[in-house]
Structure 1
């Protein structure tokens, strides 16, 4: 696997590089946003780690450019400042799949990288359901594709996983903590991650969305009708 690490702090970049290389990854370094985009444009990376604060294009703008460019499905992890909740939220809203707050444990970052890559590469088992349908929403599990009333909708891997989980578990209220653990396998983390992904999914699904907020409890998927389809 080839991992892009974009951070203008050479000490941080070197520590991350060494940890990832221990895990058998090939690491490409970039010290600016412009350099990061140049590497991504070459199409030779499987995941990008972007620092929020970089010269010549901060991490947020780089993430947005990637999401609207030739690699919209590239897994992205943001490095954010400790305690800066707005940075974390902005990173997720720009399309990042995950974030790690500075100062961070290189071991934790390495675990997050493996987790994001594993989910990005997951494919349905032979004979498994390959498509979900609910009203005008159709989800192709094999191709990680979402269509609303026949129109393709681009989602990040985190958004896709959340949508699939909710459709498969209708009429059930889940707290944000439960969604963190059951959708993404995290037993720790900022619950605002869930809030941001729900917000993004609602915006992308438009009138077709049925993610209901149950105040004081969490979120619930309300199905279009009682005849939801699952096709093989």
Structure 2
């Protein structure tokens, strides 16, 4: 694939949608484009344009601003709000003043040209936007190839890591013969390192599945209070080892029933509470559950080192690593954010350096 920013112009490779309520204007623009060898599709109103674009996205849209039914600004906003569409450059054609141009660009258009249209200017803007379109497409293709490579690599790494994990487990149990104390300790270190690497690979695969739209969640009713209590009990020994107090302040009564993917939310809660323990050296971690009318509110509060305002802005980005020496791969919070978003919920953080952090999750009780 050629990733050069200099797009080799080939009109036959481009399909241009022209939308204008005036048949005369459509014919004029079509004639100009045809002289250069472009394929053009002509439509006279916004709703038809939206329907066509959703079915067969063109390489470029030439769009009149003033049209009945739906003007060019509304068409532009509708295109930009559709996450399933690829990037499509939009060139507005307007006979009006600068205010109209500003509104068009703010709506998501890429460029504009004024009526009456000058042939050379129109073709120059068309060529410029098509270069942009193909550059974006090439960038996205390379990004997809990179993500696919990472996914395949992570998948291939799991097999030898799992095999090594099983072998180290056998060695630790003495199945293959007695070990000296020194050998036992060395194998224990190897086992922990292998487990950490396997966990990172598994998390990377989960992130890829969410980002590629290949993750299927299993929604069913469950008791969120019991889940929180379960995770808290699982992590209590880790907190006790550090001399910390881990408390669950919520309730697991019948009012705590919600609909969601229990296993994925277990992953989120384990990550948040585990992070709170990891970054707290003394004090407490409190986990609270508040049952509201239509949603549940979960809080994880710690007395740890806190997070700076600059770090908070990037906290849920993929591979963002904090400045603390104990910071991990940067995948855990990103994946947690993805899981909560897939539940149509929200996750927020409040923190101040030296005064601890508060992570809050809001989840709808019924999906």
More helix by share: 2
> What's the CA shift for 1:43?
2.1
Structure 2: runs of 5 or more not aligned: 1-13, 140-312, 319-367
Q: CA-to-partner distance for each residue in 1:122-148, whole Å, 9 max, x for gaps?
A: 257xxxxxxxxxxxxxxxxxxxxxxx7
Q: Provide the residue aligned with 1:91 in structure 2.
A: 104
Aligned to 2:114, which of 101, 119, 140? Answer: 101
Aligned pairs, number: 128
Is 1:75 the counterpart of 2:64? The answer is: no
**Normalization by structure 2: what TM-score?**
0.33
CA distance in 2, matches of 1:151, 1:105: 45
Q: Provide the residue aligned with 1:145 in structure 2.
A: none
**Normalization by structure 1: what TM-score?**
0.52
Aligned to 2:47, which of 34, 41, 46? Answer: 34
Structure 1: runs of 5 or more not aligned: 125-147, 153-232
Task: Give the conservation status (yes or no) of the 8 Å contact 1:76–1:98.
Answer: yes
> What's the CA shift for 1:15?
0.8
> What's the CA shift for 1:151?
5.2
Provide the aligned C-alpha RMSD in A. 1.9
Task: Give the conservation status (yes or no) of the 8 Å contact 1:19–1:107.
Answer: no
The SS at the match of 1:100 is strand
Q: CA-to-partner distance for each residue in 1:179-226, whole Å, 9 max, x for gaps?
A: xxxxxxxxxxxxxxxxxxxxxxxxxxxxxxxxxxxxxxxxxxxxxxxx
Work out which of the two has the higher radius of gyration on C-alpha atoms and give 1 or 2: 2
Bigger Cα displacement from structure 2, 63-72 vs 95-104? 63-72
Q: CA-to-partner distance for each residue in 1:1-46, whole Å, 9 max, x for gaps?
A: 1100000111111110111112121100110111111111112411
- Within a 5 Å distance, the mapping from 1:1-232 to structure 2 comes to 1-69=14-82, 70-71=84-85, 73-82=87-96, 84-122=97-135, 123=138, 149=314
More strand by share: 1
CA distance in 1, matches of 2:41, 2:19: 8
Task: Name the structure, 1 or 2, with higher relative contact order (CA <8 Å, separation 6+).
Answer: 1
Give structure 1 regions of 4+ aligned residues with deviation exceeding 2 angstroms: 148-152
CA distance in 2, matches of 1:151, 1:16: 44
The SS at the match of 1:20 is helix
